[in-house]
């Protein structure tokens, strides 16, 4: 919403012949952008930099295929017209449907497997993010929806991740890798995104001879083991940073571009935030590996080449 300006941008089109492929592609792009169809071939968006860019891209494609397209920028001629246009972008009914879906998810959560619950929650999150991106005049409906989604996430955590760490409020101390060689590290069993990424990071960049202990309960941590990703652990969530990011900062690894991008992915999948293109694919691989592997040692072994490959890709300059 920060880029929103006063006024409107209108795309007027006349597509060539019966090119159904082009029509469908244009329609899907404009629908995803949240554009409103005023009449055949006339699409409206609130004026913004991104709206102009989206319409300009569609103009270019239509003209390239031999059609006609014009982009017009204007202000409402009256308060009544402004109100009429704003009402066209009312997402209240869509949000009501989403609230119903979230309520159903929470009712059915007790009967779901973790795999099903994660998949359905991820789908809800994607749908709501898409709706929020086109809710140009956000109000209480969006706030209620986000609160409901947060409640569903809390219910999921209570059901499947009861020991999920709470963010500590402290500064992150710089540590020397020489003090963390051939040590035993401990975290909660049934690895998920942040823990598997953190274990990979520890063995790959901090302690190549690390030995891992997977805990049924955090209180079972061996006395000399270094804990990570649970309340009271030496390395865990701090402020807005997840454990992987805290380890990066602690061991001065945050300037590595490949690790920084992996950190962004781990952050998105663990606590939300800015989407990462590869995140859904990584989560799907992790879910499948979890189902196939008999224990966390085997799971880490399976996910290590996946993370190695992502790190190599993230560290390679784009051509």
Instruction: Give the SS3 label for residue 50.
Output: helix
Burial class (CB in 10 A: 0-12, 13-18, 19+), 28: exposed
- For the chain, 319 residues long, give each residue's pLDDT as a single digit of tens: 334 446 999 999 988 777 788 888 898 999 999 999 998 899 999 999 999 999 999 999 999 888 899 999 999 999 999 999 999 999 999 999 999 999 999 999 999 988 899 889 988 988 888 888 899 998 888 889 988 998 998 899 888 887 889 999 999 999 999 999 999 999 999 999 999 999 999 999 999 999 999 999 999 999 999 999 999 999 999 999 999 999 999 999 999 999 999 999 999 888 877 878 898 889 889 988 998 999 999 999 999 999 999 999 998 765 4
Cβ–Cβ under 8 Å, residues 268 and 262: no
Cβ–Cβ under 8 Å, residues 142 and 135: yes
In 3D space, the residue among 133, 134, 140, 137 whose CA is nearest the CA of residue 96 turns out to be 140
Q: Tokens in use for 128? A: 């709501």
Q: How far is CA 31 from the centre of its chain?
A: 21
Interaxial angle between packed helices 243-250 and 193-201, expressed in degrees from 0 to 180 and rounded to the nearest 10: 20
Q: Classify residue 120 as left (phi > 0), alpha (psi -120 to 50) or beta.
A: alpha
């Amino acid at each position: 919403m920060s880029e929103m300006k006063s006024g409107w941008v209108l795309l007027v089109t006349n597509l060539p012949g019966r090119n159904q492929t082009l029509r469908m592609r244009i329609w899907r792009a404009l629908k995803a952008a949240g554009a409103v169809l005023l009449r055949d071939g006339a699409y409206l968006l609130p004026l913004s930099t991104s709206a102009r860019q989206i319409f300009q891209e569609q103009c270019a494609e239509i003209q390239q295929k031999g059609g006609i397209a014009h982009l017009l920028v204007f202000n409402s001629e009256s308060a009544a017209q402004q109100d009429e246009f704003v009402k066209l972008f009312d997402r209240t009914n869509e949000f009501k449907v989403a609230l119903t879906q979230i309520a159903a998810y929470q009712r059915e959560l007790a009967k779901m497997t973790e795999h099903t619950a994660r998949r359905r929650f991820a789908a809800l999150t994607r749908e709501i993010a898409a709706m929020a991106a086109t809710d140009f005049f956000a109000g209480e409906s969006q706030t209620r929806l986000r609160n409901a989604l947060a409640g569903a996430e809390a219910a999921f955590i209570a059901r499947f991740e009861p020991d999920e760490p709470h963010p500590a409020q402290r500064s992150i101390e710089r540590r020397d890798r020489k003090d963390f060689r051939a040590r035993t590290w401990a975290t909660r069993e049934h690895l998920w995104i942040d823990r598997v990424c953190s274990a990979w990071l520890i063995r790959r960049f901090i302690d190549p001879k690390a030995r891992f202990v997977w805990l049924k309960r955090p209180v079972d941590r061996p006395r000399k083991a270094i804990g990570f990703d649970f309340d009271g652990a030496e390395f865990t969530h701090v402020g807005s940073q997840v454990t992987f990011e805290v380890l990066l900062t602690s061991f001065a690894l945050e300037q590595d571009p490949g690790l920084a991008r992996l950190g962004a992915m781990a952050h998105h999948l663990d606590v939300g935030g800015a989407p990462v293109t590869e995140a859904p694919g990584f989560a799907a691989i992790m879910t499948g590996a979890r189902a196939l592997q008999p224990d966390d040692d085997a799971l880490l072994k399976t996910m290590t080449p996946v993370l190695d490959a992502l790190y190599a890709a993230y560290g390679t300059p784009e051509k």
